Structure 1
Amino acid sequence: MEGKSFKCKVCDQALTQTSKLVSHRCVHTGEKPFQCEVCNKSFSVQSNFRRHQRIHTGERPYICEVCDRAFTQLSSLQVHQTIHTGDKPFKCEFCDKAFATSTRFLEHQSTHTGEKPFRCEVCGKSFSRSSHFRVHQRIHTGEKPFKCEVCKKPFSRSSNLHEHQRLHTGVKAFKCEVCNKEFTQLSGLVKHRHIHTGERKTFTCDLCNKNFEQLWGMLDHRRIHTAGKTSEVSD
């Protein structure tokens, strides 16, 4: 006997539980009842909300049985497991390169086609990878979901958080190949290299032509121009 199903009146999708039907309706109404208390980001689906919370808590409930590496999402574990199995079912028709996931496969194909399907509604910039698009959006929203447990400083990228944490641990992972001086942050090494090369790379704001020594400085500055546009879009 088949289990009872609950059908959405808008799109006729059948759900196995009334709670899932209620959550599904938010897709059509645009309602986002689940709000993160840390960064105020809202979600229409509770499962997505719980998955997001692990960014802040650091919880990694999905563990690889082979190497014990832990992940925040089941999908991430499944992708990781292909490292051990070697399974790569998605093959590129242009160069025969194979991939373990459809996401990586589609992103790779854009290198041949030049397609950039992920477009920012605020500034119009397009991206070939969804991950790069999500990180870019934080320039406009100001969202910083990665917080340092020691000093509570927030960051928009996990890589920036990891680099910052070395200030507390004292680990100097970046060494100058010329004089062997060590640095806790990559930005410190890059700036130091100017002593040897005499060069000084700058990052220019494309809206006002102001120059910055570091990329993050330019990106932070750019919010001055985009803040107004962001509020217009969200209204």
Structure 2
Amino acid sequence: VDHCEESRPLTYTPHQCSQIGEKDLSTNSVKSFISNKLLINENSSHKTQSDVHSNEKPFKCSNCNKSFTHKSNLKVHLRLHNNDKPFKCSNCNKSFTHKNSLNLHLLLHSNESPFKCSSCSKTFNQKRSLKLHLRLHNNEKPFKCLVCNKLFTYKESLNVHLRSHSTEKTFNCSLCYKSFTHKSGLNYHLLLHNNEKQFKCPVCNKSFTHKRSLNVHLLLHGNEKSFKCDICNKLFTQKRSFSVHLRLHSNKKQFKCSVCNKSFTYKRSHNAHLRLHGNE
């Protein structure tokens, strides 16, 4: 019992980590260091101190040579190459490689949009989408065209723009072999082949292949002439007719005869004139 009354000094000496330093062994310092640096879960608790501080990435992917610090990270990465998607949505059966991708996808089904724009109150179901949206408010245009120096908010917009500098038409119609620079142009063109007229006039039920054709048609029902000439006050239903009319005031004759160099305001006049040369 006597030995219980004795007070003995603590003789334990903690193992010193070379990364913290000799004089910085306060409880807060050690806790902070552990939380920020030693993020070791139960699967990697066998890692030594030198493994954690080292930038060594010993686990290499045999498919793309990408390297990883932990074997578990390599295993997750290999799912991409193996097209392994173990995380399945119970609502639509869509599968995902990573669990966090599934979690983001589930927000779509719940209609939950927790990320709100402070400028216009628009909401988003992903933080990344909100960040991209904020570029519009900040007038942020980080993507620059190296050909003409034009700036763009989104990379996708830059990629579409770059095609305008190229004459390459990679989107081919399998029915008439006509080619297009943009996929949207091909899709627009395919409506003609399908004779699909999805745009219907609510007044007379006439259908149109393209929305712009419907818009022009609707002006006829309303007899709306929204294009006014500032010179003679004449009104026009269609912008195209208005543009053609302006040539009269400007005396612009852009259609030139290649035979006698005579110029014409309208293409139809030019074509009629060419027929005269054909009779010579």
TM bin (shorter chain): 0.3 to 0.5
TM-score (norm 2): 0.41
TM-score (norm 1): 0.47
With CA pairs under 8 Å and 6+ residues apart, which has the higher RCO, 1 or 2?
A: 1
Query: Greater Rg, structure 1 or structure 2?
Result: 2
